[in-house]
Every structure is written in C-alpha cells, then in structure tokens.
Structure 1
Amino acid sequence: MKTYAITASILLGSTIAAHAEGQLNLYNWGNYTSPEMIEKFTAETGINVTITDYDSNTTALAKVEAGGSGFDLVVPSANYVPIFVQKGLLAELDHSRLSNIGNIAPEWVDVPWDKGRAYTVPWLWGSTGMAVNTSVYSGDINTSEIFLDPPPELVGKINITPEMSDIISLTIYNVGGEACTEDLTILKKVRDRLKAAKPSWLSMDYGTTDKLSSGDYAASVNWNGSTLRARINNPDVAYGYPREGYPLFMDSVGLLADARNVDEAYAFLDFIMVPENAAMMSSFARYANGITGSEEFMPEDMKTAPEIVVPEEFASAGRFLPTCPQSATDLYTAIWTDLVK
C-alpha cells in the first residue's frame, strides 16, 4: 500500500473511524484521486484525508445505504446522484460555505441529475468505450461488438468493467434499444447477447489501467481516462467509441447526510473547485473536469488526446445515462446477477 500525505484504506467495504479533528473520510472510485492534490490540500488545511476505494456505483450505494460507514464524502456518477438524494443519503449543500462554487462551468450547473448543484460539485467526466491493444487486433474498434462478439484475436483476452449501468447500456444500444427501456423483447436480446459473449471474456475487473499497459488484457470495456493512462504506458493501446451508442458520465462529490467531519468536507469541496486543483485531478486520472479556468493548468497532451477529443463522427453516439425507474433497474439487476454468478 502506498502512502502519500494521506492514510489510504483500499480494502473494499472497510469501515473508517467516524470523527476526529482535522480528518476527512473520502469514499471514491479506485485509482481516481490525485495523491499530489491530496498532499496540497493537507499542506494548506492541516486536514488528513483517508480514502477508501470502490469499484462500482452499486458497491458505493450499498455500503452507504447500510449506514455506519464513517464516510464524509462520496463520488457517485450522474445517474446515481438522484438515487442517493431520493434515499436521503446526501445532505443539501450550503453554497454560502463554498466560495468557489462560481467556478463550476455553466454547462455543469443546471445538470439534469442535480439542478443548481444543490447536492454535489463536479469531480471528473468522460465516456465508456472500448480499449484495444492494436498490436493484437488491428480491425474496427469503434463498436461494442468488440466485447459482445469478439474477433478471434481477442477471444479469452477481454476484460469487462464491473459497472452494471455501463455494460447493460452498451448492450441495449447495440441491440437497438434506449437507456432505461423495459421492453422485454429488447432485454431478452441483451441477456442473450451477454450470456453468449461471457465465455469469450477473460475477467470482469475494475483495475484495467495497469493490465492494459502490460498487455495482460488485449481489450476491455473501459473508461476514456483510464485508457489514456494505459496508452501513455503502451502506445499500442487505442480507444474506440462504439457507433451503436456509448455512455457519457460525470462523477460528482456529495456530502453524506451522516457525515461527521462536515467542516473538513466543505473545505475539501471548495478546494477542488479551484482551477489549478481541478487540473491536478484531471492530470492524474486523465479525465476532463467541470471547472472554468482549469484548462490552462492541464497537460498539453490532454488537449489533443483522441480519448478526450471525440471524433466528430462518433460524438452524437455518446449519451449521458438517465436515472432509470426502479422497475427498470430491477430488470437490469436480474440480468446482471445472472451474468456475474
């Protein structure tokens, strides 16, 4: 375990001590928090940050909903923010305590999942697509067929990220449906395609960056920033945008309703909306952020990276996932449960 200027707890499901002066407990996606940014925050505020990692929105929701986690802040994706709010798991933010709230770029303020940013502030945003090692497969990578009907070169070498929303949505789009569909004809096709494809997969793993870099995975359903990090390590890695449709996401930080370290949480929320600090987050994880003025602090290679700058022909295929009604979620969960067993 690496320790920077933070105390990192990376065991999924671990419980953190509840309250201590000058402490903050952040529950975030794994390999997604800039150590340098945390060091700077601690140096400026004296607040020590403990980070616990998760690998999917469903994992985070279940842990927080169970209660007694000791976490202060959580970072759900756009389609999960309304679920956290509806379940009473997030506290409404006091904007008077956030001097940098005006730094949120206008297009990320009145977002469908959190109008006026009543409950969250932006973390990072991006897309879910196909990461492929082009030294193994040199064909078309801009299709979800990469994981649903893999070419022979990729059979047994593909990883699937364990995020139900992304995988189900990619497959729904592939068979001609729309997000949140409850059309049983469409969902039968989704189930059948996933079950038929699974024997061709190697794994369903969150930690893809290193394994794409090393060549352990020849392909993966993956996020654009993670794929960019892998390409920096291994130039053979390329990112494909499925023409059938692919999810866009924005992860946002919310204050948990049962947070104990509230003052520390507000200090952190305000800190990450400073343009230079938001750029540190982007520079580490390699995703865009939602803070005006951060661009000048961003790495030059991100400004033209194909994982960040979407080719025009595939731009319209990217769609932010809505929050599905519980009836649809139940159908997707049944498919997912059957798939992963």
Structure 2
Amino acid sequence: MKPTLTAVALLLASTSLASAEGQLQLFNWGNYTSPELLSKFEAETGIKVTVTDYDSNETALAKVEAGGHGFDLVVPSATHVPIWIEKGLVQELDLSKIPNHANIAPEWMTVDYDPGRKYSIPWQWGSTGMAVNQTVYSGDINTSAIFLDPPPELVGKVNVTPEMGDVVALATMYMGGQPCSEDGELMKKVRDKLLEAKPKWLSMDYGMTEKMAANDVMASLYWNGAIFRARLENPDVKYGYPKEGFILWMDQVMLLKDAQNVEEAYQFLNFIAQPENAGLISSFARYANGISGSEPFMPEDMKDAPEIVVPAELADKGVFLKTCTGKAQEYITAIWTELQK
C-alpha cells in the first residue's frame, strides 16, 4: 500500500531524529577547539561533535541569521552576546541541566552582557595586542604604533586581524579616546589614521599562529593565546600590550534557538564547565578560561607566560570591550566599510 503523506512525514521525522541522536554541531572560531576535549567528550557520552569554523563575530552572526545552518551551539564574543539575545537567535538555558554552572568563577558570573549567565557558559578569555618578531624589530612592543604608525623596518610586514570591533577600538584608544566613542571629530581622526596606515600593512588576515611561527609575518595585531602558541614554535615572537590601551574579551558558548540536538548540547555545556575539561580547552588554545579550579589542569608554562600575565605597569590599560550601540556603532561600521575598500 502506498503510504499517506502523514505516514511519509512521520517516517522522515523518525529517520531524522535517529540520525541526529548522539550528534552535536558546534559553530566555533577556527583553530580554537581542543581535539582532546572532543575525544574525551565522545568517549564519556557517546556523542560525536562536528566543529564548523568561522573567522569573525560578524561571519557567525550572518550565517546563523540566514537560517538553514544546522548548528546547535555557537561561541560569540561578549560584544555580540546581547545582539544574539536581542535577535532571538539563542535560547535561555535550563540551568537545572547544567549542574556545573556553579563552577563559573564569580567575576565571570556577574557580567553585564549576560547577568547570572542565563544564556551562556564561558569558553575562554584573553586580550588583543601586538605580536612582533624581534629579529626584525627590537623597539617598544607595547604600543599600537606598530600597526598604526609602523616603524620603517616593519612597513609592509604587518598583519591586522580583520575583526572590526578590536581594530577600531585600538585605533580609538591610540588617538586618545575610548571604545564606543560618539565623538564625531575623534572618529574622523580614527578613520583617517586607519586609512593612512593601511598601505603600510602586509595583510588583514587570520592564521597568525602558523604564519608568525614560520616567519611569514613579522608583526600582527592579534590575540594573545594564538601568539603564545606561535612563540612556543618560534622564540623570536613576542607579545606586547599597547600602552595606549589594549582590549580584553571573553568568548562564551550559547545554545541556538533552533538547535536540533538540545539534550546533547546540554551535556556539552555541563562538560565544559567542569574544571579539568575547561583546563583542556585552555591547554590547547592557550587562553585563560572562566571556570574556577581549572588552573591545576593547565600547562605549567601558562602560569607566568608573558602572553597571559600583563606587566604591572600596563595592567590598568586593559579595557573590556562592550557592545557599542547607536551613533558609536554607526561610526565603527562606516569606518570599517571604508577600510575594506
């Protein structure tokens, strides 16, 4: 007998559910997910995690917003968490399914972008600063002048990470302001400085762990953990904290509104909030995390690494980047659009 439309629909639904069982789709930044963590999670739960990479907050947001993505979890930066929530792209967490939620460090529990951590679980946090190969440049590495007013020996050898918020914020502080400025005159100066500097850059690209380790790039505006990993391969690579102001940030995992593998996602969220597993995340990517008690499970060399420990004299120069809105965001977007031409 030919099955009815309803019977076919039920058959397809049951087949879909069966194929999804024991699966999880994680949408995360590239080269940022520990293979050891995933292997351990699969061994303990039987759930296989498939990781799809993205290279910027804007890329991730656009992909999910377009629909039909198939992802369950995403890892946005703090600046974008309110955007994901406001757009209805993520769902509030059922904390009864995440008993390890209690392991979130107090300082990361009370964040203004997700008070009480109702929508997110910490992944990793770090800074955005300057990386330099000291075989080419032996001057001050604690300055954004390296990419905004490159010294002669670095002209044509500098990379700038194409992350809009970080780049414009660092340039704003270099010009004497603060991130999310609504001062039109100041932001014109920021635009002019970036446009003046761009011809002196080599590239606006990612993948600096490998490229700086291989001496393909001699300086870069980039993230501390990635440069830590580059230094482990190439001791000539050093990381600096711009004295004009540098960025602090945190990435966190969020459950998408249209996630298909919800129970598997909850198991993963609970798993990464366990100290030894958070330690695995940090051990791979070399960033700090927001889980109390994870330090003993991290490599010994992370305790005093220059990419992790900010020099005392520069400690007050770190600014936690927040979500810019209104006129400030308009200026940032306009500057970025012009910089991409």
Counting only pairs closer than 5 Å after superposition, residues 305-320 of structure 1 correspond to structure 2 as 305-320=305-320
Q: Secondary structure at the match of 2:193?
A: helix
Cα deviation digits, residues 80-108 of structure 1 (max 9, x gap) = 10111111111000000001111111111
What does residue 128 of structure 1 align with?
128
Q: What is the distance in 2 between the residues matched to 1:248 and 1:321? A: 6
Q: What is the distance in 2 between the residues matched to 1:128 and 1:75? A: 17
- Larger Rg belongs to: 2
Residue 131 of structure 1 aligns with an amino acid whose one-letter code is: A
Q: What is the distance in 1 between the residues matched to 2:132 and 2:296? A: 30
What does residue 11 of structure 2 align with?
none
Identity of aligned residues (%): 66
What does residue 31 of structure 1 align with?
31
Q: CA deviation at 1:301?
A: 0.4
Q: TM-score, normalised by structure 2?
A: 0.94
Q: TM-score, normalised by structure 1?
A: 0.94
Residue 28 of structure 2 aligns with an amino acid whose one-letter code is: N
What does residue 207 of structure 1 align with?
207
Q: What is the distance in 2 between the residues matched to 1:94 and 1:45? A: 20
Q: CA deviation at 1:326?
A: 3.9
5+ residue gaps, structure 1: 1-16
Q: Secondary structure at the match of 1:101?
A: helix
Q: Secondary structure at the match of 1:172?
A: helix
Q: What is the distance in 2 between the residues matched to 1:70 and 1:280? A: 26
Q: What is the distance in 1 between the residues matched to 2:108 and 2:65? A: 27
Q: CA deviation at 1:334?
A: 1.3
Q: What is the distance in 2 between the residues matched to 1:183 and 1:326? A: 12
Aligned residues: 325
Residue 98 of structure 1 aligns with an amino acid whose one-letter code is: I
What does residue 163 of structure 1 align with?
163
What does residue 337 of structure 1 align with?
337
Q: What is the distance in 1 between the residues matched to 2:89 and 2:323? A: 16
What does residue 116 of structure 2 align with?
116
- Following superposition, which runs of at least 4 residues in structure 1 exceed 6 angstroms of deviation? none
Question: Mean Cα displacement is larger for which, 176-185 or 90-99?
Answer: 176-185
Q: What is the distance in 1 between the residues matched to 2:327 and 2:91? A: 26
Q: CA deviation at 1:34?
A: 0.3
What does residue 265 of structure 1 align with?
265
Q: What is the distance in 2 between the residues matched to 1:92 and 1:328? A: 28
Is the counterpart of residue 41 in structure 1 residue 38 in structure 2?
Answer: no
Counting only pairs closer than 5 Å after superposition, residues 134-173 of structure 1 correspond to structure 2 as 134-173=134-173
Cα deviation digits, residues 1-28 of structure 1 (max 9, x gap) = xxxxxxxxxxxxxxxx997111111110
Residue 137 of structure 1 aligns with an amino acid whose one-letter code is: Y
Q: Secondary structure at the match of 2:191?
A: helix
Q: CA deviation at 1:198?
A: 0.5
What does residue 7 of structure 2 align with?
none
Q: Secondary structure at the match of 2:113?
A: coil
Structure number with higher helix proportion:
2
5+ residue gaps, structure 2: 1-15
Q: What is the distance in 2 between the residues matched to 1:92 and 1:326? A: 26
Counting only pairs closer than 5 Å after superposition, residues 93-108 of structure 1 correspond to structure 2 as 93-108=93-108
Q: CA deviation at 1:330?
A: 2.3
Q: What is the distance in 2 between the residues matched to 1:201 and 1:189? A: 19
